[in-house]
Structure 1
């Protein structure tokens, strides 16, 4: 016999007789430990928050679909891209990077752009940012970089000295720093920004032929950004501005959309291109590798419950489907492990069983047990492989395709160390207004740096990208710096 839906129950389904008063020994007596309903409420309340994400803690999400608009089956055998007009459901999470769960939406920060495609071959996660590059290019530097973006362990305050000390000692960050400090460092809304896979990936077709690929989501709402002063004002008046904007737009039927394009590079070009194509601090020139349209992403449904869908959503760049594979990008290689490992810690070993993460396709494997296993845990089926009882087996046609690896096992840097050309090109693409605001933003950010040595070291990087760039930052900071030869 089921309980009336209007009757309050405990988590084990028993009706609750009194939800207003706890059991006590007399009217003023101490509370009784036998009040199991009270104990359950308090214990569950203490555990209502899973640990927030170390990075990308503050975010907003939405459901939608992806529709193929161009036949690219000559490049990839991924089934969700197999025919024009095909639609795949998806979930997206936008986020800031450095702030905590309660931080303001309109801070100067990259934005996460994570898309989960629920394909018939399993989930495919494309976990990128609203920038085509990143600050570092080797995952071994990631914990140190993020430490500089978080709070000082003594003062518990943001520390611009740590931020600029790290950047000045990591010249590969210059390209992303220039983007971050430009107008695009503060998008007007999540709807008015591009998204990028950032890394290089590999596409493989039915014949086993591969190409290198980069993803570009182009907003169909147009690019809009916030002035730094207006962003600061909004942060004080409505710190959830971007979250509110996305929810309200979808609620009133103004569905945001993006056109997905890719750049395609033949495998052999990786050995001769003027920049290392696996270096995530660099872009590929669109003159060399033009954008090719793939399809269109539309967001048309808000979450029903923020925690269940947005907070518990887990994304990993290692969630591939046949036809899409990893590249030797050092930063990507580290993320293939780190993201899923973070979710196993934060949400639990069975996070992929949650409705928001569970694939639409059937899941067949020999993983068993673990905390919060809430399906039938494989029932009485065979629980090891290989076996003689007809359990699921590997499909050799879905093996990852090989790529050549040469050299000695060693801690090796990228061969190319030109950190200045692309940052300088970006500066020279800006008009005078954009350059002025860029310099103002950098000067404002560096004002709190405690050591002049750090400022001077960073200015040398600006000089190397473009002499005017370095000179204007130096003047804004009141420093006299000679360009390093």
Structure 2
């Protein structure tokens, strides 16, 4: 807020002309009607009803902050990305946290996956990492993505959330079991955004200066440690503070208690992927650390709060397709499906020139042949608007900036589950998570949370299917405990 004792500026119209009143409209006498000629009132009302832009379909509610990424290890053997090319080098960034299925007024501590999206403003363009606070996801094929999101939102007739709808989708989608095991445990209710890890989740490609290729996964590990609420604590916070996570992040940065995360990479040699025991590009699975250990390469710090929530947190646009030289996509189907969808979402919400907004604008100059459209304010003057041309227009350099790629053997076009590896089983990893990673307390909370959630409006046939075909294949003990909690007798 500005200094209340300073002399305030004169109110103006959007065109900069002085306005005659902040309080009273132009009328015919003291009790007469308003006049159409009150141009400032017209402008004020017209702008007011256009203040909002369309919400994101999901990840609606969130918060964010500015910060920087600092390189702490030499990674030149794996990537030629310029922002990673020197130990100690810092790159400015903006990070947005969010809650996936929540509306703007929903409680921050509701049980859900949290989004973690980062925009790096590098010297070679913006690089966006779009992920979550879990290393895996619910589905592996983009065809299922809209259906999954629909199942988590609201019923079309009543406009209400439905646990029955969620469990119907999950129990018919075995690949979701790994993520739902995370979600129904205490990791589904993180204590704060500062006390959770972030993951790009999907697999990406790194390319070094010699053209050698590697498959990589990003892990941002919270230096503050990981802390979660149990179900009762998370629900108690609903009453105390609906905006608890947003407020916690803001207050921590305001008091200069800057949160930080270590970036640790899993790096797979390019050739390993073909014969790995499961599909390494399957977003519903993790790479075991014993196979590909975590390698620390950098540190991310958030040290500045937004100064305009709408202009920065709401209008920021993250794109899976925003890569820089040395980094590219992988055969992960969700990555490939999202390359178009995220940019298209930004064009719908902010308009075709969304990249010219300050929060989305790269720090380096932009040179291309895209032109005009609503709200365009940067133009190239008398420069050529077509390619090729003879007048010095921008020219691509395919030798220096070639697209990262991989070989695809000739094959018939088809729709398939792509389960060609021996351990492409949807229940192996969630079973390992339950038996070997979770503590006895974690397992107790998982069972209690599943039973509690499935007891709220979920039809009996869906409960039975979830126990028999979903949780029991994950782990027989888990299935039996859930069945007992629901009062079900499940026969083989």
**Quick one: distance in 1 between partners of 2:412 and 2:324?**
31
* Counterpart contact for 1:52–1:101, Cα < 8 Å: no
Matched, 1:465 2:474: yes
The alpha-carbon deviation at position 418 of structure 1 amounts to: 0.5
The alpha-carbon deviation at position 101 of structure 1 amounts to: 1.6
Which residue in the other structure is 1:410 paired with?
414
Taking a change above 3 Å as real, the CA distance of residues 382 and 5 of structure 1, as seen in their structure-2 partners, is: farther
* Counterpart contact for 2:175–2:284, Cα < 8 Å: yes
* Counterpart contact for 2:164–2:457, Cα < 8 Å: yes
* Counterpart contact for 2:387–2:393, Cα < 8 Å: yes
Match of 2:454 among 441, 446, 451: 446
Which residue in the other structure is 1:166 paired with?
169
* Counterpart contact for 2:167–2:458, Cα < 8 Å: no
Unaligned 5+ segments in structure 2 are 1-6
Which residue in the other structure is 1:31 paired with?
34
* Counterpart contact for 2:153–2:161, Cα < 8 Å: yes
* Counterpart contact for 2:329–2:404, Cα < 8 Å: no
Give aligned pairs, total: 479
* Counterpart contact for 1:282–1:422, Cα < 8 Å: yes
The alpha-carbon deviation at position 411 of structure 1 amounts to: 1.3
The alpha-carbon deviation at position 221 of structure 1 amounts to: 0.1
* Counterpart contact for 1:125–1:320, Cα < 8 Å: yes
SS class of match (2:303)? strand
The alpha-carbon deviation at position 448 of structure 1 amounts to: 2.1
Match of 1:305 among 303, 308, 325: 308
**Quick one: distance in 2 between partners of 1:250 and 1:20?**
37
Unaligned 5+ segments in structure 1 are none
Which residue in the other structure is 1:21 paired with?
24
The alpha-carbon deviation at position 5 of structure 1 amounts to: 6.7
Matched, 1:109 2:112: yes
**Quick one: distance in 1 between partners of 2:178 and 2:210?**
37
C-alpha RMSD of the superposition:
1.1
Which residue in the other structure is 1:69 paired with?
72
TM-score for both structures, normalised by structure 1: 0.97
Deviations 1:9-36 (A, max 9, x none): 0000000111211112222222111111
Match of 1:325 among 304, 324, 328: 328
Matched, 1:129 2:132: yes
* Counterpart contact for 2:205–2:404, Cα < 8 Å: no
Which residue in the other structure is 2:395 paired with?
393
- Output aligned runs, 1:118-267, within 5 Å: 118-267=121-270
**Quick one: distance in 1 between partners of 2:26 and 2:381?**
41
**Quick one: distance in 1 between partners of 2:239 and 2:388?**
59
Deviations 1:297-329 (A, max 9, x none): 000000111111111111011100000000011
Match of 2:273 among 261, 264, 270: 270
Deviations 1:364-416 (A, max 9, x none): 111111111122x2222111111000111001111113311122111121215
Which residue in the other structure is 2:3 paired with?
none
Shift >6 Å, 4+ stretches: none
**Quick one: distance in 1 between partners of 2:117 and 2:274?**
30
